[in-house]
Amino acid sequence: MAGVLDGRIAIVTGSGRGLGRAMALGLAASGARVVVTDVDGDVVAESVEIIRGRCGRDAATGFTQDLTAPGAPESLVVRTIAELGGLHIVVNNAGIGPQAVEPDFLTKPPKLWEMPHGIWQQTYAVNAHLPFFMACAVMPRFIKQGWGRVINVTTSLDTMLRAGCGAYGSSKAANEAHTSILSQDVAGTGVTVNVLVPGGPANTRMIPAAAPIKREDLIQPDVMVVPLVWLASDAASSVNGRRFIGANWDTKIPPREAAEAAGAPIAWPQLAGSIWPGGNRQ
Ligand SMILES: NC(=O)c1ccc[n+]([C@@H]2O[C@H](COP(=O)([O-])OP(=O)(O)OC[C@H]3O[C@@H](n4cnc5c(N)ncnc54)[C@H](O)[C@@H]3O)[C@@H](O)[C@H]2O)c1
């Protein structure tokens, strides 16, 4: 059966588990060939097996690598193009969550200054720097081919500001700002850059068992799939610089209307308005 993403090739970072696995499977189910890449080899193999089981052998290729290693984003892109024959869609999903500092971060929020420096730096390396290095690797190629999709997974504004989420929240705020700037830089090139978030705590290991929330009350990873597939499709060619909340996407109405209801500009520009010389607000 033909899918809206037939012929497209996608990379989903951190797709060994969680939201990344759901999104990689969703892209493959819509016809894309997907590179599953993660630092943990066993979960890469699991995701690849699941996707191949549902979508066929060619649907998934697994690359295990620490994407924060020097040169890893560029070599991921080069290898994808060499082995799969192209690249059209990049989902920057890999992340290190607040549970890496304190599994019980919701009830025992660690102070900012208590965060181990190594975890702080690794959190920034994955959540903030990696999407930048991925942009450096893909943008010249996407702009040359006049088509490309970058979808960055940030987080909710309240998580960015939440006590106990010092490294996580602030690195995600950096990614949100970076994504806004990147979307302005690609305007008119045929490439689009958007943000997609679940909209609150989602049912992955990022919200550990210690959290005082029932798993079934969490947002389920599948809420990412329908908006992601639409954003990656030709139907969303003119959609750039927007942030979408998966949990607010109504699958019962036409995608354009769902996108309108679940979307807003990236990074809350309505809060902007600094005073420039001459009293002009920008
Ligand atoms: N779960 C939530 O409540 C929630 C809410 C908002 C946003 N998010 C975001 O969604 C994304 C996915 O998170 P998740 O909840 O599925 O968590 P997760 O921990 O299940 O998945 C993140 C994946 O990233 C991988 N990763 C980490 N460092 C890496 C590296 N150096 N190289 C390659 N892969 C690496 C991990 O191995 C893991 O498989 C993250 O960016 C997260 O910040 C999650």
Cβ neighbors of 77 (< 8 A, separation 6 or more) are 11, 87, 134, 137, 138, 141
- Average pLDDT of the residues in 140-150: 98
Whole-angstrom distance, CA of residue 101 vs CA of residue 166: 10
How confident is the model over 226-272, as pLDDT tens digits?
999 999 999 999 999 999 999 999 999 999 999 999 999 999 999 99
Nearest by Cα to 129 from 87, 78, 163, 92 = 92
Cβ neighbors of 67 (< 8 A, separation 6 or more) are 13, 37, 39, 73, 76, 94, 126, 130
Q: Is residue 107 part of a domain?
A: yes
Whole-angstrom distance, CA of residue 76 vs CA of residue 67: 8
Q: Is residue 228 part of a domain?
A: yes
Cβ neighbors of 281 (< 8 A, separation 6 or more) are 273, 274, 275
Whole-angstrom distance, CA of residue 179 vs CA of residue 195: 7
Q: Is residue 279 part of a domain?
A: no
CA of 109 to the centre of ligand 1 (A): 20
pLDDT score of 1: 55
Q: Is residue 1 part of a domain?
A: no
Q: Is residue 282 part of a domain?
A: no
pLDDT score of 2: 72
User: How far lies 281's CA from each of 91, 180, 206, 241, 272, in Å?
Assistant: 34, 19, 40, 21, 9
Q: What's the whole-number average pLDDT of the chain?
A: 96
Q: Is residue 52 part of a domain?
A: yes
How confident is the model over 168-208, as pLDDT tens digits?
999 999 999 999 999 999 999 999 999 999 999 999 999 98
CA of 38 to the centre of ligand 1 (A): 10
Q: Is residue 4 part of a domain?
A: no
pLDDT score of 89: 99
Q: Looking at the predicted structure, is the pLDDT value of residue 15 above 70?
A: yes
Owning domain of residue 177: 9-271
Query: Is the whole model's pTM more than 0.95, yes or no?
Result: yes
Read off the CATH number of the domain in which 31 is found. Answer: 3.40.50.720
Q: Is residue 60 part of a domain?
A: yes
* 3-class secondary structure, 172: helix
Please report the atom of ligand 1 found closest to the CA of residue 68.
31
How confident is the model over 118-134, as pLDDT tens digits?
999 999 999 999 999 99
Instruction: Tell me if residue 124 is catalytic.
Output: no
Please report the atom of ligand 1 found closest to the CA of residue 43.
39
Choosing from 105, 168, 230, 244, which is the catalytic residue? 168
- Average pLDDT of the residues in 40-53: 98
Whole-angstrom distance, CA of residue 219 vs CA of residue 151: 19
**Quick one: CA dihedral 19, 5, 267, 167, positive or negative?**
positive
- pLDDT category, 95, cuts 50, 70, 90? very high
Please report the atom of ligand 1 found closest to the CA of residue 221.
16
- Average pLDDT of the residues in 23-47: 98
- Helices 72-84 + 130-145 axis angle, to 10: 40
The domain tally of the chain equals 1
H or E stretch at 47? helix 41-55
